[in-house]
Structure 1
């Protein structure tokens, strides 16, 4: 009986044939070669993913039939319409109006005064109605009135009535004092009542003339320029009531010079009759500019 062939000591010990070893070496070489290369994706531009803008028109009519070939996108189907065969779209002849959401301090103050007056009237009306209610109940005939149990705390009712009477008297005194105070009208740079427009324009021209004739020497010598906001209060007889720097220029010299110019230009013209019917004191808020050339101007 023939004995099987005997493998070499190296092959039998590791279990790897020369063919298998060559395949492993080739695989290892290929992997090392692949690891030596780096793959990088091309850069992606954002505009490639952005869709082109859509133009949408608003129509004021619609049709049940969908147009075969639409000329524009709209919120509803509209097939035909108009009085011309040309390719035209309706446009507004007016320019776009910029919405100014800024509200001046003068407008807020005027609105707050109206709110406080309305609240005072409501409180006085409610107090008077509550005070007259017991009198109406006492005027009811005894035969129609139903028996009511006596309040076990009459002292508290008396105290409450006295407190209400005291509160009503206090509110009435304060409201009467408020009504006797001079009526103030606040005019900002962006809101001008037509009744006051002519007066304010004449006042601005006078202040500018006096300011340019008496331009501050310190501002001229130091070449100081800037802008500031003043609130000037004028009485109905044209006399000056108050001047306040509501927004400074950053220079004390310019701020003081502006106040001095307004005081120097006083007194101003008395209010016309139509203005006196609306206000006893007119408070004007404007921006004043000290500009190169040593000039004072207000372009509000």
Structure 2
């Protein structure tokens, strides 16, 4: 026969404990699991503009601009990098510019301030005079004092003598008195320089004239052609190809027109020439950078370059960035009546 087991009974204490456990677990999840973070405001991006005040303007607007300005300006010069527009000149002011003075205070107000500042200050001398002992007053003659000399000699004097007081006064007078301190003189600041209406007008005209001079010089500087110097060590392909074709032409013309005097005298030497070329291939100038030591050879090299001109026009890649192309090469007059470059 099987024993019948009674089902377990759930008491109220068990229900209370289970309920407290569930409540504590729920509160722990809320407190430890939920976090708060401050609201992050989106950073405000402040857009700025770089604006430049130019000194002169161009009729046509440039295609590729670097700065914003009040007028169109197409830059020039010899610098390859983009430069910030600025004036390279300084105003030729000899001395400091005087400030324009404000209205001066009335005379009565200034006198009142000066009198307040210059009031006498009590010194130690005055205090010493008040503290020093004073001489006793002269004695008053009475009937008792008017007596015969015999009586005064016979009777002893009942009042003390005034000699000690006189001695004290003399000692006080003989003591060195402190010297009074010199009073500080009030500082008077120079009045600011005032400018009249005529002076202001003259200054404004001078500044306008100076601005016009700066504008004229900047325009002249901006109109200068862009120059490029190339030598035998140039590695840029666009310049190297043009310079090689230029060198071959000069050598060919030089060998065909070798100087007769150099041939007769059997002269040889080398020199350095700087040949400035325009975009159309014409020669702007020829500069002798280093002489060969023989005037005949120097003049012959310059004459050969002039005979070889004009040269080929600049390619588009060179003409876009160069107005004047300087070609610096060393030319040699060799034995055997040969003319070449290195």
Q: Which has the larger radius of gyration?
A: 2
Normalised TM-score (structure 2): 0.44
Instruction: Give the structure with the larger helix fraction.
Output: 1
